[in-house]
């Protein structure tokens, strides 16, 4: 009886409070009173969260913009929950450090995991989290890293069934080490708030493979994206957030390729400065066969990773040949078998002497040979290439555009303990969503442990061998 009376009374009070205009919209107010089931209550504009504790801020929120600053210690991780009762709602991750496969600052955990942080450990950084209708956005140091619109029928596994929009508390949860938050400012937004920069169509998650990988916390990274064919960095940024695929954007360093080419160390540094604050992995592709002589290890070392391929070779008559151009593939004087043997020799030389992290467009064959891919890629030839990858800790790209290597070869590489990356090698802005790569994961039984990350890179310690005489 007493309980019922107090509920009625509370409801009446809240109604008066709301109608009296005590809920203020579009005004930033400090979020500085917290209570924790484990730790009691605290107030103030700075709060440190430790593992195992959860702090609930005062109030319930639906549409809002929350800004603040955070500071992470080494390997520390915390989560900021919203629309939560402690279990339900979404989590934004706070964690910095090397690209090692752990989720990084700004991740909308298990829905849009990010693998590179725009913030650094040990340094205060700004963040903003907003909910406007069905749209969730997160910015780190003023750069948007998440723009996720919850579809009408979201896909959620049993484990994450509660990761949905509703209304509820803001909470800070410690996961590992110490993470400190300060200057939290909450602005309530009205019911009809919209995110004007949310311009891409909503994803149909019932028919989307990427969200299934996100829900398994399987890293979805396309390391082989080129800004070419009309794809601008702004478009790549929007697509990456919309699809839920982390992009590694790479220029081509060297000569002979298509699209943007970097010519020397100076251009490398200029390019790097242009993209360093973009929310991409920062890659570079060694192009042609002269790049190791053209660029310093130091300049190329600023990138998170470096890849090359065997699509430009020195052919059996000493000509530089781009084997993806039929007019440059000359069999004159040799059989196709001999040509193939030479192509494998070249691939082994490239991977032995040019310090790359990733073998991209792997096992690519000229048109005529590709018609009989399995015949030309004999076990013996496959093993010669895999041997080099093992020897120099080079990762094997699973290429979405060419659908290579074959699942057979991917299975062999997994058996050898070789790590994988996903890559598209797009020619324009109209490319897919890593379909072949995600299919390969299922067909070949790959796990997150089979995936390569830049923290595993050894290329900077490898010797550059100039093996071609020009």
> Which residue's CB is nearer to Zn ion, number 107 or number 425?
425
- 425 touches Zn ion (CB under 5 A): yes
CA–CA dist 185, 129 (Å, integer): 11
Which of 249, 230, 239, 346 lies closest to 289, judged by CA? 346
> Which residue's CB is nearer to Zn ion, number 285 or number 457?
285
Shortest Å, Cβ 360 to Zn ion:
6
Look at the alpha carbons of 430, 448, 79, 206 in this order and tell me if their dihedral is positive or negative. Answer: positive
Shortest Å, Cβ 310 to Zn ion:
12
Shortest Å, Cβ 113 to Zn ion:
25
Contact string (CB under 5 A) for Zn ion, positions 280-299, x = contact: -----x--------------
CA–CA dist 434, 409 (Å, integer): 18
- Candidate ranges 72-80, 314-322, 391-399, 421-429; the one touching Zn ion (CB under 5 A): 421-429
On the 0-12 / 13-18 / 19+ scale of CB atoms within 10 A, 391 is exposed
CA–CA dist 465, 259 (Å, integer): 27
> Which residue's CB is nearer to Zn ion, number 198 or number 397?
397
Residue with the CB atom nearest Zn ion in the bound state: 425
Residues forming a β-bridge with 262:
253
> Which residue's CB is nearer to Zn ion, number 141 or number 425?
425
- 135 touches Zn ion (CB under 5 A): no
Size of the site for Zn ion (CB under 5 A): 2
Residue with tokens 């169509």: 201
Residues numbered 194 to 253 that lie near Zn ion (CB under 5 A) are none
Shortest Å, Cβ 422 to Zn ion:
13
CA–CA dist 447, 451 (Å, integer): 7
Total number of residues shown for the chain? 470
> Which residue's CB is nearer to Zn ion, number 267 or number 341?
267
Shortest Å, Cβ 398 to Zn ion:
14
> Which residue's CB is nearer to Zn ion, number 102 or number 425?
425
Shortest Å, Cβ 47 to Zn ion:
46
For 117-274, strand residue ranges (E) read: 125-132, 135-140, 143-149, 169-176, 179-188, 221-225, 246-249, 252-254, 261-262
> Which residue's CB is nearer to Zn ion, number 285 or number 321?
285
> Which residue's CB is nearer to Zn ion, number 174 or number 310?
310
Max Cα distance, the chain (Å): 99
- Candidate ranges 105-113, 169-177, 279-287, 386-394; the one touching Zn ion (CB under 5 A): 279-287
Q: What is the DSSP string of 393-407?
A: T-EEEEETTTTBS-H
What are the structure tokens assigned to 159, written together? 């484990």
Shortest Å, Cβ 133 to Zn ion:
38
- Candidate ranges 94-102, 278-286, 381-389, 451-459; the one touching Zn ion (CB under 5 A): 278-286
Whether 396 and 389 have beta carbons less than 8 Å apart is answered as yes
Whether 183 and 68 have beta carbons less than 8 Å apart is answered as yes
CA–CA dist 426, 230 (Å, integer): 11
- 84 touches Zn ion (CB under 5 A): no
The H or E element spanning position 205 is: none
- Candidate ranges 70-78, 227-235, 351-359, 422-430; the one touching Zn ion (CB under 5 A): 422-430
> Which residue's CB is nearer to Zn ion, number 156 or number 228?
228
Shortest Å, Cβ 230 to Zn ion:
16
Contact string (CB under 5 A) for Zn ion, positions 366-405, x = contact: ----------------------------------------
Shortest Å, Cβ 103 to Zn ion:
27
> Which residue's CB is nearer to Zn ion, number 285 or number 347?
285
- Candidate ranges 99-107, 181-189, 264-272, 425-433; the one touching Zn ion (CB under 5 A): 425-433
> Which residue's CB is nearer to Zn ion, number 70 or number 313?
313
CA–CA dist 310, 359 (Å, integer): 8
Q: Round the CA-based radius of gyration of the chain to a whole number and report it.
A: 26
113: left (phi over 0), alpha (psi -120 to 50) or beta: beta
Coil, helix or strand for 343? helix
Q: Binding residues for Zn ion, per CB under 5 A?
A: 285, 425
């Amino acid at each position: 009886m007493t309980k019922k009376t107090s509920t009625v009374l509370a409801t009446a009070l809240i109604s008066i409070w709301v109608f009296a205009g005590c809920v203020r919209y579009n005004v930033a107010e400090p979020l500085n009173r917290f209570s924790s089931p484990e730790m009691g209550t605290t107030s103030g504009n700075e709060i440190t969260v430790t593992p195992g504790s959860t702090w609930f801020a005062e109030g319930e929120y639906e549409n809002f913009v929350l800004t603040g600053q955070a500071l992470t210690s080494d390997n520390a991780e915390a989560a900021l929950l919203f629309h939560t009762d402690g279990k339900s709602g979404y989590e934004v991750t706070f964690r910095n450090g090397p690209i090692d496969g752990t989720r990084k600052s700004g991740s909308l955990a298990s829905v849009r995991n990010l693998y590179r942080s725009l913030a650094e450990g040990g340094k205060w950084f700004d963040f903003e989290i907003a909910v406007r209708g069905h749209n969730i956005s997160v910015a780190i140091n003023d750069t948007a890293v998440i723009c996720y619109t919850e579809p009408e029928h979201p896909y959620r596994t049993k484990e994450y069934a509660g990761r949905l929009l509703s209304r509820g508390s803001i909470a800070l949860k410690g996961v590992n080490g110490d993470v400190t938050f300060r200057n939290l400012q909450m602005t309530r937004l009205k019911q009809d708030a919209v995110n004007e920069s949310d311009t891409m169509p909503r994803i149909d998650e019932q028919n989307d493979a990427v969200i299934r990988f996100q829900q398994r916390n399987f890293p979805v990274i396309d390391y082989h994206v080129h800004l070419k064919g009309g794809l601008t960095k702004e478009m790549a940024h929007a697509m990456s957030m919309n699809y839920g695929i982390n992009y590694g954007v790479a220029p081509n360093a060297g000569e002979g390729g298509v699209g943007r080419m970097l010519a020397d160390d100076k251009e490398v540094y200029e390019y790097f400065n242009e993209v360093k604050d973009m929310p991409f992995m920062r890659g570079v592709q060694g192009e042609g066969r002269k790049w190791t002589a053209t660029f310093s290890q130091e300049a190329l070392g600023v990138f998170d990773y470096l890849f090359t391929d065997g699509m430009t070779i020195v052919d059996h008559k000493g000509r530089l040949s781009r084997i993806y151009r039929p007019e440059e593939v000359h069999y004159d004087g040799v059989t196709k078998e001999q040509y193939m043997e030479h192509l494998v020799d070249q691939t082994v030389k490239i991977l032995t002497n040019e310090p790359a992290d990733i073998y991209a467009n792997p096992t690519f064959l000229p048109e005529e040979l590709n018609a009989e891919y399995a015949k030309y890629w004999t076990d013996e030839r496959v093993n010669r290439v895999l041997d080099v990858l093992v020897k120099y800790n080079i990762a094997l790209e699973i290429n979405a555009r060419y659908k290579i290597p074959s699942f057979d070869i991917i299975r062999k590489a997994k058996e050898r303990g070789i790590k994988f990356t996903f890559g598209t090698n797009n020619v324009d802005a109209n490319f897919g969503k890593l379909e072949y790569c995600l299919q390969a994961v299922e067909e070949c039984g790959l796990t997150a442990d089979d995936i390569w990350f830049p923290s595993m890179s050894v290329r900077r310690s490898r010797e550059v061998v100039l093996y071609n005489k020009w």
